[in-house]
Amino acid sequence: MLTVAADQQEYSCSFGSGKYFALCGFGGILSCGTTHTAVVPLDLVKCRIQVDPAKYGGIIKGFRVSLAEAGVRELGKGWAPTFFGYSMQGLGKFGLYEVFKIYYSMALGEVNVLPHALFNAFLLVCFPPHG
């Protein structure tokens, strides 16, 4: 019964389709926007320690002082520009990487394996697919 279900399963989208590019871009938005936003409180405390090391001390003391002075809401300061900025970066890195990879591969046409592999390596160096 399981093998029949596996045989009938289809891919959610075809490689190089608009849906494929949209899903790659959405994956970039989720991976970059959410992860960078999650560390906003840590970044806020780190910056405060750099500005006034005597007052904030280390990370734990920095969190305690920040919470005591302004509460939990203060630790989320700057989350919106971080989320939207890094989401756009993820959209570009994940979505546009795939667009350019396919576009330039098609523009090169059928070529020797070595130049094609070197071109893909060049794309990976210039446009790494991680946030």
The string of DSSP codes covering 21-55 is HHHHHHHHIIIIIHHHHHTHHHHHHHHHHHH-HHH
- Read off the pLDDT band of 32 (50, 70, 90): very high
Task: Please tell me the pTM assigned to this model.
Answer: 0.67
Residue 6 lies in a domain: no
Say how far apart CA 125 and CA 107 lie, in whole Å: 20
Q: Say what the pLDDT of residue 124 is.
A: 82
Residue numbers of the domain that contains 85: 14-126
Q: What average pLDDT does range 8-24 have in this prediction?
A: 81
Mean pLDDT for 77-101 is 92
Mean pLDDT check: name the lowest of 10-14, 33-37, 40-44, 79-83: 10-14
Q: Model confidence at 122, in pLDDT bands (50, 70, 90)? A: confident
Report the run of H or E that residue 85 belongs to, with start and end. helix 79-90
Please give the pLDDT value at position 72. Answer: 92
Tokens representing residue 113 in the block: 């394996």
Q: Specify the pLDDT at position 51.
A: 96
Residue 85 is assigned to a structural domain of this protein: yes
Tell me what the mean pLDDT of segment 75-97 comes to: 93
Angle at 48 (CA atoms; ends 45, 51), nearest 5 degrees: 155
pLDDT at 1: 46
Return the SS3 of 106. Answer: helix
In a domain, 94, yes or no: yes
Is residue 56 in a domain? yes
4 within a domain of the structure (yes/no): no
Q: Percentage of the chain surpassing pLDDT 70?
A: 83
**Domain assignment of residue 8, yes or no:** no
pLDDT score for 113? 59
Q: Is residue 1 part of a domain?
A: no
In a domain, 2, yes or no: no
Q: Which two tokens mark 59?
A: 């990370």
Do 75 and 66 touch, CB atoms closer than 8 A? yes
Percent of the chain whose pLDDT exceeds 90: 55
State residue 5 phi and psi, 5-degree precision.
Answer: -65, -40
* Domain total in the chain: 1
